[in-house]
Amino acid sequence: MSATTILWFYIVFAAADLVWGLFLTFLNYRNVLRNADSVPLEFRERVSPEEHRKAALYSLARMRLGFVSSPVMTALTLAAVVTGFFGFVDGGIGSLVPREYLHGAAFLGAVALLASLVSLPFSLYSTFVLEKRFGFNTTSLKTWAADALKALLITIVIGLPLLLLLFLFMDATGRFWWLWAFVALSLVNLGISIAYPLVIAPLFNKFSPLPEGSLAEKIRELARRLDFKMGGIFVMDGSKRSKHSNAYFTGIGSTKRVVLFDTLVAQMGEEEILAVLAHEIGHEKKRHVLKGMTLSLALSFVGFWVLSLLRYWAPLYPAFGFAGASKEALVFILGLASGPLTFFLAPAFSAWSRRHEYAADRFAAEAAGPEAMGSALLKLNLENASNLTPHPLYSFWYYSHPTLSERLRALGAVNEAPTGRARGPELAGSDQNQERGG
């Protein structure tokens, strides 16, 4: 296969990824717009027209941003590949940093910095215009900049040694360098997972143990009843940056902990918070965390193996604008092409994640009651202005969590959830279902 053929292959997949994503977003946009003034029948007793319209307008605004950002980022990336820009940058850095390993790390760092700068206008608009317009943003430009600087420093402190270690394995451990690198870097990542809640996360947020009282006692009783051991339950000052609410599970072994956003604690009653915690405990009891780590390791293993197969494939490098084979070019090309070349796998990963969410919901319903779980889900969705009317194909392709109606229906709580004014989005999980590109 020639370099030209490889280039066209990449262009076709990148274009297909973009066009398919825009098509799905268009379907979703049209569906949300059509239903913006009509609360879905199953929610009319619990969601006001104003709450539903706000959620719809928020989703529409995020999708409009995606209609601009996705084509711009894809077009700039393709232009850089076709013109040989990345090879030019690599050559320029090589003339300034002649030492091979540092040259490779500097190139990858420079490309990452360039990508961040190109996406900066969209990030600023999303945080300080779009999120502010809908009443979610509470961060200042100073805090935002400090977060970006901290993230950059952490990336350098952790990423640079890992890159140098990878380059060393590629040179010093023979034919099976990729296997040694996989094992070593997996162990390092395990160490980072253990250290994250204790060292890294506190650099960005304040984590306070849940104060003593009725809620703390009920949580301890829930943990005892479910035979769940953890390093603690902490409240995070999420309101420092946003009014969005969530809860998540982090850490491994003795460092594992449940983290509640302070906004979530303020929005929910005690029984609902217990349901949220039971959902998180359900992920642990059902071994979803372990399964996720196993999948991540398997994908990492495949990635290293692919690197070993492509390392000496001569046409690959000029196809992306590089003068010849190099370690940094190999790592960069795999990172650049992996997304477009695997975009069609998204539904499989989304379905796998949704299956885990359903299982955790059932666990929480058994532990804390379906009514409390249903009420918590409803409050989370409304509080975060999550979309109540996504297009089915869009949610099938992208949503890591089932839609609210699907989750309540699975709980048998569509007609059982409390009829009081509910306020909130998605539940507990490490991420939320958001409109693509926002």
Q: Which of 328, 308, 329 shows the shortest CA–CA distance to 319?
A: 329
What separation, in Å, do the N-terminal and C-terminal C-alpha atoms of the chain show?
A: 37
Place of tokens 């799905």: 24
Q: Which of 253, 283, 431 shows the shortest CA–CA distance to 356?
A: 283
**Could you give the residue numbers annotated as active site?**
280, 361
H helices present in 173-315, as ranges = 177-195, 214-225, 262-267, 270-285, 288-310
Q: How far apart are CA 438 and CA 428, in angstroms?
A: 20
Structure tokens at 11: 């262009």
Amino acid at 408: L
The alpha carbon dihedral of 422, 225, 211, 208 has a sign of negative
Based on its alpha-carbon atoms, the radius of gyration of the chain, rounded to whole angstroms, reads 23
Amino acid at 130: L
Q: Which of 242, 239, 235, 247 shows the shortest CA–CA distance to 277?
A: 247
H helices present in 83-140, as ranges = 85-96, 100-125, 131-133
311-345 b/e (C-beta count within 10 Å ≥ 16 → b) = eeeeebbbbbbbeeebbbbbbbbbebbeebeebee
Q: Are 422 and 379 in contact (CB under 8 A)?
A: yes
Q: How far apart are CA 193 and CA 191, in angstroms?
A: 5
Residue-by-residue DSSP string for 295-330: HHHHHHHHHHHHHHHHTT-TTHHHHTT-SS--HHHH
Q: How far apart are CA 119 and CA 130, in angstroms?
A: 15
Structure tokens at 248: 């998540």
Q: How does DSSP classify residue 210?
A: P
